Structure 1
Amino acid sequence: MKQITIITASLLIGFVVGTYFGSTNTTPQGVVLTSGPKFEEQEEILDSFVSACLEGSAEACANLYTKDTVYMIPETPILEGRQAVLGSYKEFFEGRDYKVLEMSEPATEVVHFGDWAAIRGTGKEITESKDGQRTTKTYKWMILSEKQDDGSWKMKWDIFNFDNPLK
Structure 2
Amino acid sequence: MIVKHCLLVVAVTTLCLGSAQAQSVKQAIEAANAEFVKAYNSKDAAGVASKYADDAAAFPPDMARVDGRQNIQKLWQGAIDMGISELALTTLEVQECRDLAYESGTFSLKAPGKDSKLVDTAGKYVVVWKKGPDGGWKLYRDIWNFDPRM
Give the 5 Å matches for 1:91-110: 91-93=78-80, 95-97=81-83, 100=85, 102-110=86-94
Structure 1 or 2: more helix by fraction: 2
Give the 5 Å matches for 1:1-167: 36-93=23-80, 95-97=81-83, 100=85, 102-126=86-110, 133-164=117-148
Which position in structure 2 is the counterpart of 1:22? Answer: none
CA contact (8 A) 1:32 1:111 kept: no
Query: Alignment partner of 2:29: what SS?
Result: helix
Instruction: Determine which structure has more spread, i.e. the larger CA radius of gyration.
Output: 1
Q: How many residues align?
A: 132
Q: Which runs of 4+ in 1 moved over 3 A?
A: 126-129, 131-134
CA contact (8 A) 2:129 2:138 kept: yes
CA contact (8 A) 2:83 2:112 kept: no
Distance 1:96 1:128, change over 3 A: closer
Normalization by structure 2: what TM-score? Answer: 0.76
**What amino acid sits opposite 1:42 in the alignment?**
I
Distance 1:126 1:90, change over 3 A: closer
Counting aligned pairs with the same residue, the percent is 24
- 1-structure distance, mates of 2:66, 2:110: 26
Distance 1:128 1:84, change over 3 A: closer
- 1-structure distance, mates of 2:36, 2:107: 12
Ranges in structure 2 where 5+ consecutive residues have no aligned partner: 1-13
CA contact (8 A) 1:107 1:122 kept: yes
Ranges in structure 1 where 5+ consecutive residues have no aligned partner: 1-26
Normalization by structure 1: what TM-score? Answer: 0.69
Shift in Å at residue 145 of structure 1?
A: 0.4
Q: What is the alpha-carbon root mean square deviation over aligned residues?
A: 2.6
Shift in Å at residue 90 of structure 1?
A: 2.2
